[in-house]
Structure 1
Amino acid sequence: MTPEKPSYFFCGIGGSGMLPLAMIVQAQGATVEGSDRSLDQGRTPEKFDWLRAHGVTLHPQDGSGVRADHTVVATGAVEDTVPDIGAARRVGAPIVTRPELLSRIFNAAPTSIGVAGTSGKSTITGMIAWILDQAGRAPTVMNGAVMKNFTDADHPFASALIGGPDLFVAEVDESDGSIARYDPTVAVVSNISLDHKSMEELRELFGGFTGRARTAVLNLDNVETAALAQTMVAEGRGEAVVTFALGRVDADLSAHDLSPLPAGMTLTLTDRASGDSHAVTLNVPGAHNVANALAALGAVRALGVPMDQAVAALETFAGIRRRMDVVGTANGITVIDDFAHNPDKISATLKTLHAFDGRLLILFQPHGFGPLKLMKAEFIETFVGLMKPDDVLLMPEPVYYGGTTDRSVGSKDIAACVRAEGRRAEALGDRAACGDRIVEIARPGDRVIVMGARDDTLSQFAAELVARLRATHPA
């Protein structure tokens, strides 16, 4: 008798971390069902139509779709106030969190690459995926964002790549502490800075992550990751460390002679072990993407991919959706969609954009009241330090989905402090009001950057801005 397929119910299946995991589980032979608040609210309908077309049964997020034979997958916190979780408890269905399920699959692979760090994870994961794919390694990849190289008419939401069972690559999250669940063959850490947890907690989490790996790929340009490398050397594990840096000859992989292009970068790559140099042209902009490329090269080198082959693949890497995505240009005004949501990411984006002339109209939608309060000083310092005098910052209130979150620090607090330091900043009631203000003040030569996370409708907002600018700013 053939055993029945395992059956999973994903609560929040449309999320950037849940959808690719659901596709990987389905590819491994399970049946997949799910629910999503955005589905109930009529948001991003094309995503849910695509899921239905690919064999996923969708239900309202009211608990009605949960059965006893399901394994219910929760995004993070398992709270009975979520109807699907309450229903799972009533019918006796097992419940796992997304990190628990992903780490089980990850750890079961004979070879695995875990990509961690405050910033750059999705891009590095996408770069590694493309290099390994082009090298014929058939990786299975779990990313938190859409990888443009793998998108086509049938796969518009290519945040997962379905390959073989022997090599698994995944973006690994420290914000919820789940990084402690992963036992990677290769651990990549791009950088460590204040985001969701204290620095003491982060040092312990990242130290454990790299300590469990056969090889750790670490950034010497970041104080915290450089300290991890020093610790591993002091512990006698120096051979397990691959370092990378911009302009430093003491790193295993280093980049020199960086030159910005309108949509990319040129550089000279130096491999200290071989002494070889490679002229490289990336199709993604900014020095931060050069660092991301070095991290990816370090990871694949640890798996034996020849450097010249890896570089050739990297030069055809098309990027990650919502990572400085040019949505469109309307009468000389360019609209860019970007995932930047913490000080490090915002800093990288602003530095990249300011490599070329033009005023920036910055719409920043904070991804929560908690992070805004935790990093208030850092947000203010970043905007004050990197905005030019004629740039304009426009902020709606943070994303808020209900609950008991401390809402004592809001966008008005950030904008007021940025203004007090001589920069132009406005906090408006909602995102629609920010859009109206952008349409009102935009002029040819401006670049509008839409920044934020945890809200799929930001991309739709950016596209609508292009249409509005086209209609209201005649050529």
Structure 2
Amino acid sequence: MRTLKHIHLIGICGTAMASLAGMLQEQGHRVTGSDTAAYPPMSEMLSGLGIAIHEPYAEANLEPRPDLVIVGNAISRGNVELEYVLDQRIPFTSMAAVLHDEFLPGRESLVVAGTHGKTTTTSMLAWIYEVASRTDARFAPSFLIGGVAENFGTSFRVRATKPFLLEGDEYDTAFFDKGPKFLHYFPDAAILTHVEFDHADIYPDLAAVKTAFKRLVNLIPRRGRLVAFDGSENVSECAAKAFCAVERYGFAAESFWRVSGLRHEGAVSYWRLDRDGQHFADLEMPMAGEHNALNATAAAALAAGQGVPVEAIVVALASFRSVKRRLEVRAEVGGVTVIDDFAHHPTAIRETLRALRSAYLGRRLWAVLEPRSNTLRRNVFEADLVESLALADRTLLAAVFKSESIPAAERLHPEHVAEALVQRGVSSAVCADADEVVRVLVPQLLAGDVVAILSNGGFGGIYTKLPAAIEAAQDVLSAR
């Protein structure tokens, strides 16, 4: 795209799509976009960039006729704008293809992939590079992250330097390209955090998920590196036939990057990191949870292998500020702490609740779940979901988001989860929507409670409704 164009994005509020919209606007293109049910943080980011979100989808959003349309991977045949694009033969492409064609040539592509942890790990890696660039401008990173990194206040940045850090999503690319987005990124080096069955709407089983990650590993050149978690047989299988060097990280004594002495003091984590049997660094980070220490270790390992000085890694992790919607404190009202976490899978929920347990010792923990992701809306993970939510003291489950779009035989039944939790001694109930959650929850709250809101979407505006309701009930709360 050597000439400036009018580019329209269908599904612009997806995290990667919103980031791409900003990147294209920085190149000087005229960017428009459309979506439905826009919600923060990406709606706020787009507003800050001056990019209007047209709602709902309509043919009129494509007037005047754009030069190019980028179709988000959530867009299916039947979408009114997509059908118009096809009828009018307006040129169209995917987000991942634009990245490959327009932004990655001549760059060093560093890809963070895995079922869990990739957004946080990519954010950590970007911040490590940013800190390193203060003394060596060559490390100044370009990046695209599936969330807003707090240290940057954005999910993207494009510079003229070589490193380009990418969150590698295993979800499919577009309605016309059902392969994973990360196969477009051709990594020079990569991180593989975890491999589990996920995205049950597009992957039939774990074997299919592993095949996708094996294909990513197969793209890394011989001169490259793969930093791979040591605590997963699935990761081991996916890394087994790599042509590049493979560096394992985790707690195993034989791992190239070994974590030891991990401890948590409130919301701060401390650990020793060894490299190939030799002391590398003593690290600390203002985030709780074993999973976050492992994410930071992976970022440190990849950065160090690319030449980033250890001093920059230590400083960066100590000053890392997380990602919006990852253990994000949304409000502290009436002695109640409200946490927002982007929950999409039972394993992610488990690690989130474990981290909150260590960060808020002795406090009563509520888990408020909206089954919204394509994984959580299905009953294939029902037993795993019960195991994860049982880590909370009390739980509330909302109705399955757009349950009618899931075949009845595959659909999660929140009441079954609630019944199983009650049988295990965990107070649990099912609410129709966010408004009912607030009505049921607030009268039961006590000062000192921690409420984890678990959803990968807007959850009916609960992030503002709940704090407002707690604020209104402060006098009652303080008297309990």
Q: TM-score, normalised by structure 2?
A: 0.87
SS at match of 1:321: coil
Residue of 421, 433, 438 corresponding to 1:435: 438
The 3 A distance-change label for structure 1 pair 245 and 3 is closer
The answer to whether the Cα contact below 8 Å between 2:192 and 2:228 also exists between their aligned partners in 1 is yes
Q: Is 1:75 matched up with 2:72? A: yes
Which position in structure 2 is the counterpart of 1:168? 164
Q: Distance in 2 between matches of 1:287 and 1:399?
A: 30
The 3 A distance-change label for structure 1 pair 31 and 425 is same
Which position in structure 2 is the counterpart of 1:219? 229
Q: Distance in 1 between matches of 2:206 and 2:140?
A: 36
Q: Is 1:267 matched up with 2:280? A: no
What are the within-5 Å matches in structure 2 for residues 284-433 of structure 1? Answer: 284-355=287-358, 356-368=361-373, 371=376, 372-384=378-390, 386-387=391-392, 391-400=393-402, 403=405, 406=408, 408-433=411-436
Q: Is 1:62 matched up with 2:58? A: yes
SS at match of 2:147: coil
What are the within-5 Å matches in structure 2 for residues 452-463 of structure 1? Answer: 452-453=455-456, 455-456=457-458, 460-463=461-464
Q: Distance in 2 between matches of 1:241 and 1:382?
A: 31
Q: Is 1:468 matched up with 2:469? A: yes
Which position in structure 2 is the counterpart of 1:209? 216
1:365-424: per-residue Cα shift (whole Å, max 9, x none)? 11246543232222123223x34xxx1110011222874654743322222222233322
Residue identity over aligned pairs, in percent, reads 24
Q: TM-score, normalised by structure 1?
A: 0.88
- Unpaired runs of at least 5, structure 1: 152-157
Q: Distance in 2 between matches of 1:462 and 1:3?
A: 42
Report the Cα offset of residue 68 of structure 1.
Answer: 4.4
State the AA in 1 paired with 2:246. V
Which position in structure 2 is the counterpart of 1:124? 121
The answer to whether the Cα contact below 8 Å between 1:179 and 1:205 also exists between their aligned partners in 2 is no
Report the Cα offset of residue 189 of structure 1.
Answer: 0.7
Which position in structure 1 is the counterpart of 2:46? 51
Q: Distance in 2 between matches of 1:340 and 1:230?
A: 30
1:234-273: per-residue Cα shift (whole Å, max 9, x none)? xxx4x61121103x23112122111112222111122226
State the AA in 2 paired with 1:465. L
Report the Cα offset of residue 450 of structure 1.
Answer: 0.4
State the AA in 1 paired with 2:162. D
State the AA in 2 paired with 1:147. A
- Number of residue pairs aligned between Structure 1 and Structure 2: 451
Q: Distance in 2 between matches of 1:62 and 1:344?
A: 38
The 3 A distance-change label for structure 1 pair 272 and 264 is same
1:165-224: per-residue Cα shift (whole Å, max 9, x none)? 632111111133333333101111111112113210111111111121121110002221
Residue of 234, 256, 260 corresponding to 1:252: 256
Q: Distance in 2 between matches of 1:411 and 1:427?
A: 7
Report the Cα offset of residue 317 of structure 1.
Answer: 0.9
Segment of structure 1 superposing worse, 197-206 or 398-407: 398-407
Off by >6 Å, runs of 4+ in structure 1: none
Which position in structure 1 is the counterpart of 2:151? 149
Residue of 133, 138, 141 corresponding to 2:140: 138
The answer to whether the Cα contact below 8 Å between 2:397 and 2:429 also exists between their aligned partners in 1 is yes
- Unpaired runs of at least 5, structure 2: 134-138, 173-179
SS at match of 1:5: coil
Q: Distance in 2 between matches of 1:230 and 1:53?
A: 45
Q: Distance in 2 between matches of 1:206 and 1:50?
A: 31
Q: Distance in 2 between matches of 1:226 and 1:184?
A: 19
Q: Distance in 1 between matches of 2:2 and 2:273?
A: 52
Segment of structure 1 superposing worse, 55-64 or 111-120: 55-64
Q: Distance in 2 between matches of 1:473 and 1:393?
A: 22
Q: Distance in 1 between matches of 2:253 and 2:26?
A: 44
1:133-183: per-residue Cα shift (whole Å, max 9, x none)? 1111222111111100012xxxxxx11123226321111111333333331
SS at match of 1:149: coil
